[in-house]
């Protein structure tokens, strides 16, 4: 497949998949009534942040997918994508605060493993995951706080 066609596929799959999951599992009345910490960001912030992060995730995935020596990172990339896409249905769909916390902890570990392994193989891909790692660190604290408060 053409390298740039593959980039389009990555962008469509990651950004489109994230948008679709967001549409299928939006915050509902159950979420609105939960106790939240004072540092809970406004709802409008999540869409723009995730759009930028999904673009970076797609670019990093595309970079490692097009490398002949990227096979070891592909599994981590796919793993974090699966965990990322699983979190919203567990939290918003199943209303499982504890289950979502376990998912996001596994996601955080997978992101950190990707950054660590990509650092020496494809530094730009690793750097693209740094904002994602920072946001998921914050989201993990937020998820844990909501679990604790409820």
> Is 104 within 8 Å of 139 (Cβ atoms)?
yes
Q: Is 61 exposed, middle or buried (0-12, 13-18, 19+ CB in 10 A)?
A: buried
* pLDDT confidence band for 47 (50 / 70 / 90): very high
Residue 124: predicted pLDDT: 98
* 8-28 tens-digit pLDDT: 999 999 999 999 999 999 999
> Is 109 within 8 Å of 80 (Cβ atoms)?
no
Residue 114: predicted pLDDT: 98
The domain segmentation of the chain, as residue ranges, is: 3-149
* 59-91 tens-digit pLDDT: 999 999 999 998 889 999 999 999 999 999 999
Q: Is residue 1 pLDDT above 80, yes or no?
A: no
End-to-end alpha carbon distance in the chain? 49
CATH of region 3-149: 1.20.1260.100
């Amino acid at each position: 497949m053409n390298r740039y066609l593959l980039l389009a596929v990555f962008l469509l799959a990651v950004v489109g998949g994230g948008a679709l999951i967001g549409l299928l599992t939006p915050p509902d009345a159950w979420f609105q009534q939960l106790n939240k910490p004072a540092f809970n960001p406004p709802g409008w912030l999540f869409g723009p942040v995730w759009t930028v992060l999904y673009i970076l995730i797609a670019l990093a995935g595309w970079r490692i997918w097009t490398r002949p020596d990227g096979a070891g990172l592909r599994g981590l990339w796919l793993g974090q994508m699966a965990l990322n896409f699983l979190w919203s249905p567990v939290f918003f769909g199943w209303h499982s605060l504890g289950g979502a916390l376990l998912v996001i902890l596994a996601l955080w570990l997978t992101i950190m493993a990707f950054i660590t392994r990509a650092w020496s193989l494809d530094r730009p891909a690793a750097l693209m995951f740094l904002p994602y790692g920072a946001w998921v660190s914050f989201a993990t604290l937020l998820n844990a706080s909501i679990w604790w408060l409820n």
